[in-house]
Structure 1
Amino acid sequence: MLGVAVGDALGLPYENLSRRRGLRLFGEPDRYRLLPGIGLISDDTEHNCLVAQSLIAQGTDVERFQADFARRLRRWALLLPAGTGRATIVASAKLCVGVSPERSGVFSAGNGPAMRAPMLGVAIRDLDLLRQLVRVSTRVTHTDPKAEFGAWAIALATNLSWNEPGLTPQHYLQRLTETLADDPAGELIELIAKAVASVEAGETTAAFLDSQGLGKGVSGYVYHTVPAALHVWLSYPDDYRNAVQTMIACGGDTDTTAAIVGGMVAARTGKAGIPAEWIAGLRDWPRTTRWMETLAAALADSIETGITAQPPRLPWWKELPRNLAFLTLVIGYGFRRLLPPY
C-alpha cells in the first residue's frame, strides 16, 4: 500500500512531461514537489485502496467482489476525483446511472486496470483465483482484452515479487507465457520478452524505451506502461529508491508508472525498503499514512483468517472537500507547467 502511494506522490508533478522537460522544470525526482515536502496521492493509490476495501468486505467471492468494487467505484466517482482517465470516467458514469458492472466497461486499452493490479497481486496467493479477480476488476472499466492482459502481467509480477525472492527475469517471462498460453496475448508477450532481453543485456530502461519509440515518455496505453514498468522492476527488484526514480525519470504517465513499480518492488522489500523520509512526507488527508496502514492491516487479517469484515471507511464530507482542493491545486500546477524553464 505504501509502495504504491509513495511512487504515486513522487511521480505526480512529472505526469505527462517528457524526460527533458520534467528534469528541467522540477529537477530530480528525489522529493515531493507538487507541494514542497508534502506528498499527495492520486487515483492510482485510491483505486488500490478501493480494491483492498472490496477484498476485506467480500473476500474471494469473485461475483461479490465485482459488485462491491463497482459500488465503491461509483461512490468514488461521485466525489469528483481529479486526473482520472477517460475510460474510467465513462465507466463510472455508466455505473452511476444504473448500468451493471458486467456492462459498464468501455473498450479501451488504458492502464487503469494495471494501476490497481498490485493490490490484487500481493493479496491473493492462488494464481487461478487471482486471474479471475483481475478479470472482473478490469472489465468494470475496460473491456479491451489488452487491458486485462496488461493488468494480469502486473498482478503476476507483484505476486511473484513477494512469493519468490529468487525470481529471475526469464522465470517471470516463462510464468507469464504459461498463464497466457490460451489467450491472444502474443503482442504483449513479445514486448515483455524484449524488456527481459534488455534487462539481461544490462541496458538501461531509458535506452530500452528509446528502442521502443518511447523516448519522450511512457504513455497511458497499457502496452507501453506494462513493459516499461516491468523493465524497471526487473532491473531493481530490491531497490525501491532507484526503481521509482528511474521510472519517473522516463517521463510520461509518471504517477501511474511509479505507483505500479513502487507496488511491485515494495511487495518484496516491505515498508523497511521504502525511504523513511518519503513515507514521513506523505501527508494527504483523509487517506493518511495511518489510515492506509490500518486498511492494509485489516486486509492482511481478512486474508489470514478468511473472515470478511467491514473495512475502514472515509466519510464523504472529508473526501469531497479534499478532492475539490486537490483539483484546484492540479489546475494551478497545470498553468505553472506552461512557464519556463523549457
Structure 2
Amino acid sequence: MVNRAAAVAAMRGLALGDAFGETWFFRPAGTLEEALVERRLKDGPWPWTDDTAMALSLLRILDRHGHVDRDALAAEFARAYAADPYRCYGASMHDVLRAIGDGEGWAAVTGRQFDGMGSWGNGAAMRVAPLGAWFCDDLDLVVAEASRSAVVTHAHAEAAAGAVAVAVAAALSVRGVAAGDLVEAVAGRVPDSEVAARLRRAAGIALSADPRHVAAMLGCGRQISAVDTVPYAVWCAARHLDDLPEALWATAMAGGDVDTTCAIVGGIVAARTGLTGLPDEWLTACEPLPAWVAAVDDRP
C-alpha cells in the first residue's frame, strides 16, 4: 500500500517551505534577523526553486511507476530542467542535467562529479520527503527507495544518507511518531555516515533550544552539503512536528541555505499536518503547484 494523500501533502509543504525560505535571501545587509524576529514577510508572489522542481519530478515518477525507476527519474529531471532551467539549480546540477539531457547515462555523469567522488550536496535530501510519505507503511522500503532516488544525481554516500534521513523522517511523521522520538528514530535508520553521527548528536539536543545555537553545532546548510543541512532540518521538524508555520519560522531563524532547510522541514511536517494552520497570505503568496499534483491522491 502507498499513501498518496500524505505524499501530496508533503509535496505541498515542501513547496511552501521552499518558497517561504527563498524570500529570506537578498535582504538588505543587517536586516535579516530583525525581520525574522518581527516576522515581517516579503510580499508575494513567492516562487519556488529547484527543490520543488526536482521533488515534483520524483512525485511524477512515483505516480507513474509506483517506485523509483532510476532511468525514468533521470530523464524526468533532465526534461524538467530543460523546460525551466532558471530555478536556482546548483552549479554542478546544471552540468549533470544538461549531460543527461544530451543522452549520457546518469551513472557515468554523476559518478564523475567532484573528481569521481560524486556530489555530497543536499539536493537528494531536499526533494525526497514526498517519497517517504508515499511509502510510509514500510520503513525498509523507504530506505531502499530513498537511496535509489539519490544516486541518480548524487553518487556520494553522504548524499544518499541525507536522503534516507529525510525520507524516514517524513514516513515517521505520517505514522504519528512523538516529536521527542523523531530524531533518534531517524538516526537509527540511516546508514553509518557523518549524517548519522550528526543526527545522533542532534538527538541529544533539547527541542526547546534556540535554533540559532543548534545551527552553530550542526550546521544549517551554509556548506550546501547533506551533512551540514539534514541533521539541523530534522531537528527543526521535530521541534514543531504538529505546527507547520512555527516549524518554518524556527528553521529560518538560523539563516544558511534557508530555502532547502525550510523545504525539508515543510515536507516532513506537512506530511503529517497538511497545510492546516497556514495564514491565508502564505497560501496566496506561494507559487501554485502544477494542476496534475491534485489528481495524484485521487487515483486508486
Q: Determine the C-alpha separation between the residues in 2 that align with 1:108 and 1:16.
A: 26
Tell me, yes or no, if structure 1 residue 85 matches structure 2 residue 96: no
Query: What's 1:300 paired with?
Result: 297
Counterparts of 2:38 and 2:19, CA distance in 1: 14
In structure 1, what is the equivalent of residue 175 of structure 2?
163
Q: 2:214 aligns with which of 176, 200, 208?
A: 208
Q: 1:276 aligns with which of 276, 280, 286?
A: 280
- C-alpha separation in 1, matches of 2:231 and 2:28: 18
100 and 75 in structure 1: CA distance in 2 versus 1, 3 angstrom threshold? same
Give me the whole-angstrom Cα distance separating, in 2, the residues matched to 1:261 and 1:140: 23
1:189 corresponding residue in structure 2: 196
Secondary structure of the corresponding residue to residue 272 of structure 1: coil
**Deviation (angstroms), 1:265:** 0.9
- Listed as ranges, the matches of 1:24-39 within 5 Å are 28-31=38-41, 33=42, 36-39=43-46
Cα distance in 2, alignment partners of residues 118 and 18 from structure 1: 32
Counterpart residue number, 1:3 = 13
Map of 1:116 onto structure 2: 127
Secondary structure of the 2:295 match is: helix
Kindly state the Cα deviation for residue 229 of structure 1 after the two structures are TM-superposed.
0.5
Question: Could you tell me which of 76, 100, 109 is aligned with 1:104?
Answer: 109
Determine the C-alpha separation between the residues in 2 that align with 1:26 and 1:175: 29
Q: Quick one: distance in 1 between partners of 2:105 and 2:217? A: 42
CA RMSD after TM alignment: 2.5
Moved over 6 A (4+): 16-19
- Picking from 13, 24, 29, the partner of 2:23 is 13
Match among 54, 57, 62 for residue 47 of structure 1: 54
Task: For 2:284 and 2:161, locate their aligned partners in 1 and report how far apart those are by CA, in whole Å.
Answer: 35
Q: After TM superposition, give the deviation of residue 14 of structure 1 in Å.
A: 2.1
Aligned to 1:257: 261
Structure 1's 25 and 205: CA in aligned 2 closer, same or farther, altered over 3 A? closer
Say if 1:4 and 1:260, in contact at 8 Å, map to a contact too: yes
Match of 2:65 in 1: 58
% of aligned pairs identical? 28
1:243 deviates by 0.8
Q: Residue 297 of structure 2 aligns to a residue in which SS? A: helix
Please say if residues 19 and 259 of structure 2, whose CA atoms lie closer than 8 Å, have aligned partners that are also in contact. Answer: yes
Write out aligned runs for 1:238-249 (5 A). 238-249=242-253
69 and 18 in structure 1: CA distance in 2 versus 1, 3 angstrom threshold: farther
Please, what TM-score do these two structures have when normalized by structure 2? 0.84
Find the aligned partners of 1:170 and 1:27 in 2 and give their Cα distance: 28
Corresponding letter in the other structure for 1:184: D
Cα distance in 2 for residues equivalent to 1:193 and 1:46: 30
Q: Distance in 2 between matches of 1:18 and 1:124?
A: 42
Contact 1:199/1:231, CA 8 A, preserved across alignment? no
For residues 54-91 of structure 1, the C-alpha deviation after alignment (integer angstroms, 9 at most, x for no partner) is 1111112x4xx212211111112223223111232222
Is residue 234–residue 265 contact of structure 2 (8 Å, CA) maintained in 1?
A: yes
- SS of the equivalent of 2:129 reads helix
Counterpart CA distance in 1 for 2:265 and 2:36 is 21
Displacement after TM superposition at 1:298 (Å): 2.9
Q: For 2:216 and 2:17, locate their aligned partners in 1 and report how far apart those are by CA, in whole Å.
A: 23
Stretches of structure 2 that go unaligned for 5 or more consecutive residues are 1-10
Measured after TM superposition, the shift of residue 92 of structure 1 is 0.7
Residue type of the partner of 2:144? Q
Structure 1 gap ranges (5+): 306-342
Distance 1:72 1:30, change over 3 A: farther
Q: Secondary structure at the match of 1:271?
A: coil
CA–CA separation in structure 2 for the residues paired with 1:132 and 1:189: 16
Distance 1:37 1:81, change over 3 A: closer
Question: Given the alignment, which residue of 70, 73, 77 partners 2:77?
Answer: 73
Whether the 8 Å contact between 2:100 and 2:106 is mirrored in structure 1 is yes
